[in-house]
Structure formats: structure tokens, C-alpha cells
Amino acid sequence: MVLYRELHRPQFHFSPRENWTNDPNGLVYQNGVWHLFFQHNPEATVWGNMTWGHAVSDDLMHWRQLEHALYPDEHGTMFSGSAVVDHENTAGFGKGVLLAFYTAAGEYAKPKRPYTQCLAYSVDNGRRWTKYAGNPIIPWIEAANRDPKVVWRSGTRQWIMALYLAGDRYCLLNSSDARTWTRFQELRLEGVSECPDFFPLTDESGTERWVFWGAKGVYLVGSFDGRQFSPETAALICERGRNGYAAQTWSDAPDGRCIQISWMAGGQYPEMPFNQQMSIPVELTLAGSGNEVTLVRWPVRELDALRQRTIRLERQSITAGSPLVAATDAKLLDVSFTVSRQDANALYVMVRGQPLVFDWSSKELRFTNSPSHKVMPDRLHVMLPDDPGLSVRLLIDTTSVEVFINQGLISASFCFLPNGYVDPLVLQSYDGEQTVDNFDLHEMASIWT
């Protein structure tokens, strides 16, 4: 098999050259380069021996995998964490140095140790990393505390760390030098564990809001003055579907953008040299204001550069026995359309032989072929809005479908393996009529050249 051209290799989603990958780590932008670190087992296609893999991109699409960044040591294996640019030399390693914060999973050290939080730094734009001699910077607090996410708050000139504790509990810590940390608040996300994220966004009224995010796509929106995060919404669910997990945002993204990527957890890649993939990067914004505010996720504009041949159709009526068959043989697709239900009970979007079902009667989106991984029951049920018409965008890769409804107000991630098919994309109805408008299909190029 030719590398990056294997049967089940994603062609416009990131996957490692070989072996296992899971959570995205250390996402940071510096000097025109997007850094993607990731949980990686360099020795096998199954989980274990956690090491930080490393890939870089100039455009968030085309990735070049580099040498591994952080290897297991006497403190433990390298679990998840984050990275920042130390613009003001707060840590004393120099201006513009990259700082990486990670969990040393002492359970896997010999002899065993507790889980602690550690620091590494790079003075050459992330190519080589030095672990801080004073590690750990945060001693064990409780259980398997892990996954430090660090952000700079300029108003109080402090680093803020979100850290997972145990159960559904997290905490916030602060530091002026990135090495000495003080815990100041505890938070809960019911039913959620692991991989916190904490970042500011501006709502539609122009007010700065802060988002506290957990691994299962559940989040709170509130205010943060540097001393206290005050939630102003109930817990909301943003990333639905069976396979989106452990999403993180990039630090120091240019132009005020907030860019996020997820592990598409639990995908199946039989007998491939690699295992697991990342989602497409999405841009996050806030819709609404006050306590009526919600996160919106939309594929980054850089994806458009991969578009090749385009098929556009005007209004199409879909009835039993009269489907919409896309005139393409391509497997890599970026498809958008609006659909009006009329009197149909469901729209079946057949993706390479597998049914993605928009069930109008139950107001639910289903993709039954998709495997699940660590998701909450209500995330499996992607509820559709009670609207007569929906706008839909589908990103279809070799082994995944990502769905964005009503300009990203609803999003969901699914992994799959194809079934038998004649046409790679068919929209059909088994009873009643529905109408599809503004159908645009873009055949996509591979990112692996």
C-alpha cells in the first residue's frame, strides 16, 4: 500500500503516518504555522505508550508530520495538554518561546506515581522540546487529575489553567510565571469528564463571554474577571453525533479567530497502518446574547481551497421511486443543500451505501452504521429543529461524515465504513414528497500530495 493512499485512509482529515492517535494536544499558532500535537502510540495501532506526536500546517488543511515532541519519562507517559506562546517571557525562557503543559500519567511510570502536571518549552518554534527541570509544576491533587488547558488573560496579566479533577469536576488555577500555580475555583459539568477547554468569544451584543468546555461537547457560557468564572447559561451540548470527542481550540490563532479540532473517536480502520483520525477544523462563534447564547461551529474557510469539480442543481422534488442521484463517482465530497419536508416522513441520504436519516417524524438525525465511543445518550440523538426547511452541509471523507445544520447551529460527527453501492450519494424518500433546493456538490482534492 502507498502511504496516505490506503483503502480506509482519510483524504482531507488528519491521520498519522502510522499507529494509534487520539486527543489533539498543544494546539498553537506561531509565525504562520499551525501546530497540531496529538496523543500517539509510536509502537502499535492500539492505545498505549502515550507520546506527543507532532504535525504542522500552513493552511489548516495540508499537514506535515514531524518528529515526536514529548516521550514518556520517569514521571509517566505523556497525556493530554495544551501549548501557548510566551510573548512576555513570563516563564523566563525567552520572549516568544512556546510553552507546553501536559499531564505525566504516573500510573504508567516504573515505579508507579500519581498523575502530575508538567511543563516543557521550545526555543525553536516547536521543533525541539526541553522538559522543565523543576517538573512537576503542579503536584497530584486527586484521582487521575489531568489535561491542563492554559490561556493568557491580559486584563489581569495571568495565565489561567483549566484542569480535570475527577468525576464531573474541574478546577481553575492561575499563575504569573507559568511555573507556580494557585488553585482558585472548582466547576462541574454534569455527566462530563476529561479534556477541558476555556476560551473567550464575543457575543452578538459585543460583550466578551467565556466558554468552559468538556470532552463530550458540553459547555457553559459565562463571565470571567480573572478571579471567578460565573456561568450564565445552563450546560449546553454543541458537538453531537457518535464520534466527536476531546475537542480543543488553538492558542494565538490570528485575526481573532477561534479554531477547534476534535478527535473523531471510535472510527474503524481495519488492517490499516494507522488508527483513528481528527475532525475537520471548525471556527467557533457565538450566536445570540445574554443567557440566550449558543456556540456555532462551521468548517474553516481554508477547506474551500480543496474544491475541484462542482455540480449545481436547482429545485428537485424527491418522491418514492424518484430520488436525487448525484452525478459523481467521487468519494470525497463537500455537499450543501436546503430541504423542505412537505409530507414526507424522512429524507434518506445514502452515503456510499450507508443511510444518513433525517427523520422528520421523530425530529432526529441518525447514522446507524457509525460506531460510538464515550458519548452521552442524548448526544447520540441529534435532534432536528422544528422548522419546515433546513440548510444542510455534509463533509464526506473516506471513512467519515460531518454534518452542519442551519449554518452550524447544530453539528454532528460520524465515522463509518461503506457498504455496497452504485452511486456514492443519493437523496431519496420512501413515502411522501420533499423538495431540495440550492444543491451544491464539490468534489474534493486529497491533502496528501
Instruction: Tell me the pLDDT tens digit for each residue of 398-418.
Output: 999 999 999 999 999 999 999
pLDDT higher at 253 or 369? 253
Does the pLDDT at position 295 exceed 90? Answer: yes
**433-441 mean pLDDT:** 96
DSSP string, 247-280: EEE-BT-GGG--EEEEEETT---TT-SEE-EE--
Spatial distance between the Cα atoms of 91 and 411, rounded to a whole number of angstroms: 38
Backbone angles phi, psi at 424, to 5 degrees: -70, -20
Beta-carbon contacts of residue 73 (< 8 Å; ≥ 6 apart): 104, 109, 131
Compute the average pLDDT of residues 29-56.
98
Task: Identify the band that residue 304 occupies on the pLDDT scale cut at 50, 70 and 90.
Answer: very high
- Is 167 buried (19+), middle (13-18) or exposed (0-12) by CB count in 10 A? middle
Beta bridge partners of residue 218, listed in sequence order = 237
How far apart CA 81 and CA 133 sit, in angstroms, is 18
Quote the pLDDT of residue 222: 98
Q: Given this model, what pLDDT does residue 60 score?
A: 98
Q: Percentage of the chain with pLDDT > 70?
A: 97
Question: Residues 334-344: pLDDT tens digits?
Answer: 999 999 988 99
Q: What is the pLDDT of residues 101-120, one digit of tens each?
A: 999 999 999 999 999 999 99
Residues that are catalytic: 23
**pLDDT value of position 219:** 97
Inform me whether the pLDDT recorded for 373 exceeds 60: no
Banded pLDDT at 446 (limits 50, 70, 90): very high
Residue 128: partners with Cβ closer than 8 Å, 6 or more residues away: 122
Return the closest-CA partner of residue 444 out of 412, 409, 398: 398
Within a 10 A sphere around the Cβ of 169, how many other Cβ atoms? Answer: 17
Residue 292 has pLDDT above 80, yes or no: yes
Q: In Å, how far from its chain's centre is CA 425?
A: 25
Nearest to 164 by CA among 119, 134, 139, 194: 194
> Domains (ranges, CATH) in the chain?
19-299 (2.115.10.20), 305-444 (2.60.120.560)
Please state, rounded to an integer, the average pLDDT across all residues of the chain.
Answer: 95
Q: What is the pLDDT of residue 332?
A: 98
Does 425 have pLDDT greater than 60?
A: yes
Q: What integer is the mean pLDDT of 122-138?
A: 97
- What does DSSP assign to residue 76? B
pLDDT tens, residue by residue, 202-245: 999 999 999 999 999 999 999 999 999 999 999 999 999 999 99
3-state helix, strand, coil split of the chain in percent (to 5) is 5, 50, 45
Confidence check: pLDDT of 375 > 60 = no
Q: Provide φ and ψ at 305, rounded to 5°.
A: -65, -15
Task: Look at residue 175 and give its three-state secondary structure.
Answer: strand
Query: What confidence score (pLDDT) does residue 63 get?
Result: 98
Give the pLDDT score at 372. Answer: 57
- pLDDT at residue 387, rounded to an integer: 76
pLDDT band at 307 (very low <50, low <70, confident <90, very high): very high
d(CA 102, CA 28): 14
Asked if the model's pLDDT at residue 379 lies above 80, the reply is no
What is the value of pTM for the model shown? Answer: 0.96
